[in-house]
Chain A
Amino acid sequence: MAAFFANIDLTFLIVSLVKIVGFTFAAVLPLVTVCVYLERRFSAVIQDRVGPNRVGVPLTLLGFKKDVQILGIGGLFQAAADGVKFILKEDFTPKMVNTFYFWLAPCLTVVPALLTCAVLPFGSELNFSFLGLEEPVKAVIADLNVGPLYTFAIASLGVYGIVLAGWASNSKYPFLGGVRSSAQMISYELSLGLSIIPVFMVFGEMNLPKITQFQDAHGWLILPLWGDGLSLGRWVLWIPMLISFLLFTIAMFAETNRLPFDLAECETELVGGYHTEYSSMKFALFFMGEYAAMIIGSGLAVTLFLGGWSIPFAPLLGLDFQAGATPLWLGLLHIGTFFAKVLGFILFFILIRWSLPRFRFDQLMKFGWLFMFEAALANVLLTAVLMIWFPVK
């Protein structure tokens, strides 16, 4: 036993723990609140309104004269106010529900969404040599060789939360929502997985950090504008990659239950869908799970197609990643770039939500099975054929 404890690499443990807490709880969860704020402000300006612009840090409660607005932008504290509201609301469990599953469902939505954070490379490397760490710290929680597979495996667990919520609520609207959601998620999972097979064929790799490093040096997958990216082969392969990106984005929308595919919770037909019977923090957990899934989905799309943490034209600017020789400031800049890209992608999510009407359910299933699935398969074939003449590397 003593030998077992002696073998534990304490530095590794502590670094992993800091990464887990730092990325999951100090980055992704606060990003959820930022998303909610962005969603409200962005939808407001789309509809010619102003949106929440008043809530500041409530210093008046402590006897100060004025509330302080963060960064001078009104309303940035709105998300925190929303959170406090959720905590203080009555947590009501209806009488006729199946209590155990009713309580389990919100957890099953959030946990998988947060678990998928593990394989996302949110930065290149952080050089902590001044702290006595010899090896630079990789900015990814788990450097797995099966990153995307892991993500899909865990993310598809999220459907259980929704199905259980719909079933355990013992009410017709949640039930309909749960049934729709399960059908939808199962059909779009196929095309989600198939759509990025061409990407792995091109990279010959399923390790997300390595994929990002490749893109940093040789141009992003759908913007190959520097390094080897300017070769003819990459631009010929750009066509299937663009198709792959479009299919992946569409499937991602369906997977995260976002409009135009939000049939599981469409307010106009199903009241609130699967979370109709939920209140207070349990409802907030569904909300958080959904937004966290959105963030992770955007993160995955950014990592696979838009170069992850890589700075555009990095080799030309001298800001590219050098294994083991990246200074700390560049590492931090990479992290900043990653989050900026993710936020940009989320803004795109929001823009789509407020532009497109919802699909009818039969249209949704038809689209999923008769178009997305076939298109993804055909794209795999196309890439394979093109790669005979234009191999990468």
Chain B
Amino acid sequence: MATIIVKRPQLAWHEKAFISTLIKGLKITLGHAIKTLSQIIGRKPKVTMEYPEEKWDSNLPEYYRGAPALVTDEQDRERCVSCQLCEFICPPKAIKITPGEIPSDDPWAKVEKRPKEFEIDMIRCIYCGMCEEVCPEQAIYLRKDYAITGLSRKEMVHDKKRLYEIGGKRIGLVNKWNELK
């Protein structure tokens, strides 16, 4: 095996005495300072995005994992069949589902179940996306909302209504329950 013996650089006396190295260092820091300062004065800082005024929402990647939410299909049916897989896989145990039966006079009676209550505690949620991954019905999705705030713990628990509000309608994919098929 070829070994390379790395030689220590031979420093000149002025480098050893911190004279030229100090000047070099000051040049670098001062250069950065002047460059950034001129950018700030020109109101165009290249690196920092000033958050509430500028957001990178439009540049969020496709795979961005934001707040999880429930979706309905194109006929406004709740996709969730309350199988509770997401509840069981959720690592921080943020999801709580109370399953309910669909009454027999409902046009979607053959789906049999839908959640009576569906709560995600956004204080606990770690945005891992396991719920999305595990869902057999593609009913839960991680959206691109990331600024989830609230003034109380209660406000931070998203109930079913809020989850559908965030999620909206999702067309396509699983057509198992659609009349069209």
Binding site for B on A (CB under 8 A): 42, 44-50, 53, 351-352, 354-356
Interface size class of B (residues with CB under 8 A): 10 to 19
In Å, the complex CA distance between A351 and B32 comes to: 11
**Is B32 within 8 A of A45, CB to CB?**
yes
Q: Is B48 an interface residue (CB 8 A)?
A: yes
**Is A355 within 8 A of B37, CB to CB?**
no
Q: Is B109 an interface residue (CB 8 A)?
A: no
B43-60, CB under 8 A of A: which get 1 and which 0? Answer: 001111010000000000
Pick the residue among B25, B30, B47 that contacts A49 (CB under 8 A): B47
- Point out the residues of chain A lying under 8 angstroms from B29, CB to CB: 46, 351, 354-355
Binding site for A on B (CB under 8 A): 22, 25-26, 28-30, 32-33, 35-37, 40, 45-48, 50
In Å, the complex CA distance between A50 and B30 comes to: 15
**B20 CB, min distance to chain A CBs, angstroms:** 14
**Is B32 within 8 A of A46, CB to CB?**
yes
Tell me the nearest residue of chain B to A347, going by C-beta: B33
In Å, the complex CA distance between A106 and B128 comes to: 47
Q: List 28 A-B contacts (CB under 8 A).
A: A44-B36, A45-B32, A45-B36, A45-B37, A45-B40, A46-B29, A46-B36, A47-B32, A48-B32, A48-B46, A49-B48, A50-B36, A50-B40, A50-B45, A50-B48, A53-B40, A351-B26, A351-B29, A351-B30, A351-B33, A352-B26, A355-B22, A355-B25, A355-B26, A355-B28, A355-B29, A356-B22, A356-B25
In Å, the complex CA distance between A370 and B28 comes to: 30
- Point out the residues of chain B lying under 8 angstroms from A47, CB to CB: 32
CB contact under 8 A between A48 and B47, given known A42-B33, A351-B30, A355-B26: yes
- Point out the residues of chain B lying under 8 angstroms from A355, CB to CB: 22, 25-26, 28-29
**Is A48 within 8 A of B25, CB to CB?**
no
- Point out the residues of chain B lying under 8 angstroms from A46, CB to CB: 29-30, 32-33, 36
**Is A49 within 8 A of B26, CB to CB?**
no
**B154 CB, min distance to chain A CBs, angstroms:** 27
**A355 CB, min distance to chain B CBs, angstroms:** 4
- Point out the residues of chain A lying under 8 angstroms from B46, CB to CB: 48
In Å, the complex CA distance between A355 and B40 comes to: 21
A interface SS class: loop
- Point out the residues of chain A lying under 8 angstroms from B28, CB to CB: 355
Which of B29, B32, B40, B47 lies at the interface centre, i.e. has the most chain A CB atoms within 10 A of its CB? B29
- Point out the residues of chain A lying under 8 angstroms from B25, CB to CB: 355-356
**A38 CB, min distance to chain B CBs, angstroms:** 12
- Point out the residues of chain B lying under 8 angstroms from A356, CB to CB: 22, 25
- Point out the residues of chain B lying under 8 angstroms from A44, CB to CB: 36
- Point out the residues of chain A lying under 8 angstroms from B47, CB to CB: 48-49
Which of A45, A50, A352, A356 lies at the interface centre, i.e. has the most chain B CB atoms within 10 A of its CB? A45
**B49 CB, min distance to chain A CBs, angstroms:** 10
- Point out the residues of chain B lying under 8 angstroms from A48, CB to CB: 32, 35-36, 46-47
In Å, the complex CA distance between A46 and B33 comes to: 4
- Point out the residues of chain B lying under 8 angstroms from A354, CB to CB: 29
- Point out the residues of chain A lying under 8 angstroms from B30, CB to CB: 46, 351
- Point out the residues of chain A lying under 8 angstroms from B45, CB to CB: 50
Interface pairs A-B: 7 shortest CB-CB:
A45-B36, A355-B29, A355-B25, A45-B33, A50-B48, A46-B33, A46-B29
Which of A50, A53, A351 lies at the interface centre, i.e. has the most chain B CB atoms within 10 A of its CB? A50
- Point out the residues of chain B lying under 8 angstroms from A50, CB to CB: 36, 40, 45, 48, 50
- Point out the residues of chain B lying under 8 angstroms from A53, CB to CB: 40
Which of B28, B35, B36, B50 lies at the interface centre, i.e. has the most chain A CB atoms within 10 A of its CB? B36
